[in-house]
C-alpha cells in the first residue's frame, strides 16, 4: 500500500529525540510505501508572527513557514541519508520512504500531503496531529469538546472555511486539503500522531482512536 502521512510540526517541536527516533524506526520497519510531509508547528508560527510585526507580506511569511517545514523534514530524513524533494512531482518519482516539507506559498502541508496522495494514487492519507482527531470545538480550550469518529468532507469544508487566508494558520484540516480529498476521493484519517500504535492500527485497518473523513 501507498500511505501519505502529514506529520504535524507540533509533534516534532519542541525537539523530542525519543519521539523522532521512534518515528524514524516506524518508517524504517513499515512494510508499506510511506510518504511523509512534515509541518512547521509552533516554531514556524513564532517566526511568522514576528516577521509579520516587521511588515512582511503573507507570501513572504508563508515562505518562512515552508523553510521551517523543510528543516523538520531534513531532521527526520537524516536517519535515511536521502534528499528532500521540494515539489510534489519530484517526490512522486522517488523511491519510498520519501520525506518532504512544504512546497509553495498558499498551501499548507496538509494540502501538500493531499496533493501528493492524489499524485501517487495513495491508498490512505493520514493527518497526524497533536490531538485525537477532529472535534466540534478546540479540545485544548474546551473540556466538553466532542470527538467526531466520522465526519463528511462537506461538513469539514464548512468548518474549515473558504481557503488559505494567511500564513501560519493552525487548523486541523484546511479547505484546500479538504477539496483535494473530496475531488480525488482519497481515504483519509485524522489522528494523534504522538501515539504510533494508533498510527499503525490505522494503516492496517485495526481499531484506532481518531476521525475518518467520509467522502
DSSP 8-state symbol, 8: -
pLDDT in tens, 23-80: 999 999 999 999 999 999 999 999 999 999 999 999 999 999 999 999 999 999 999 9
CA separation, residue 102 to residues 144, 174, 186, 200 (Å): 34, 14, 20, 24
List pLDDT tens digits, range 64-123: 999 999 999 999 999 999 999 999 999 999 999 999 999 999 889 999 999 999 999 999
Q: How far apart are CA 23 and CA 12, in angstroms?
A: 10
The pLDDT, as a whole number, for residue 160 is 78
- pLDDT value, residue 167: 62
Interval 185-190 mean pLDDT: 97
Task: Quote the number of domains for the chain.
Answer: 1
Q: pLDDT, tens digit, for every residue of 121-172?
A: 999 999 999 999 999 888 989 999 999 999 999 999 988 775 555 665 656 7
- Domain span at residue 24? 2-214
Q: SS3 sequence, 69-133?
A: HHHHHHHHHCCCCCCCCCCHHHHHCCCCCEEECCCCCCCCHHHHHHHHHHHHCCCEEEEEECCCC
What CATH number did the domain enclosing 147 receive? 3.40.1160.10
Amino acid at each position: 500500500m501507498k500511505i501519505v502521512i502529514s506529520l504535524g510540526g507540533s509533534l516534532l517541536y519542541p525537539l523530542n529525540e525519543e519521539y523522532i527516533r521512534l518515528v524514524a524506526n516506524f518508517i524504517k520497519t513499515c512494510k508499506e510505501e510511506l510518504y511523509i510531509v512534515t509541518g512547521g508547528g509552533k516554531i514556524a508560527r513564532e517566526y511568522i508572527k514576528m516577521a509579520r510585526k516587521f511588515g512582511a507580506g503573507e507570501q513572504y511569511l508563508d515562505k518562512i513557514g515552508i523553510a521551517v517545514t523543510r528543516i523538520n523534514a531534513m531532521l527526520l530524513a537524516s536517519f535515511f541519508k536521502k534528499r528532500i524533494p521540494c515539489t510534489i512531482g519530484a517526490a512522486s518519482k522517488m523511491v519510498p520512504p520519501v520525506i518532504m516539507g512544504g512546497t509553495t506559498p498558499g498551501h499548507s502541508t496538509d494540502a501538500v500531503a493531499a496533493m501528493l496522495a492524489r499524485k501517487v494514487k495513495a491508498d490512505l492519507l493520514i493527518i497526524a496531529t497533536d490531538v485525537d482527531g477532529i472535534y466540534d470545538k478546540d479540545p485544548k480550550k474546551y473540556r466538553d469538546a466532542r470527538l467526531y469518529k466520522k465526519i463528511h468532507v462537506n461538513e469539514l469544508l464548512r468548518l474549515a472555511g473558504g481557503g488559505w487566508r494567511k500564513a501560519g494558520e493552525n487548523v486541523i484540516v484546511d479547505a484546500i486539503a479538504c477539496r483535494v480529498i473530496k475531488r480525488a476521493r482519497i481515504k483519509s484519517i485524522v489522528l494523534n500522531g504522538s501515539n504510533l500504535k494508533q498510527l499503525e492500527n490505522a494503516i492496517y485497518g485495526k481499531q484506532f482512536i481518531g476521525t475518518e473523513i467520509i467522502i
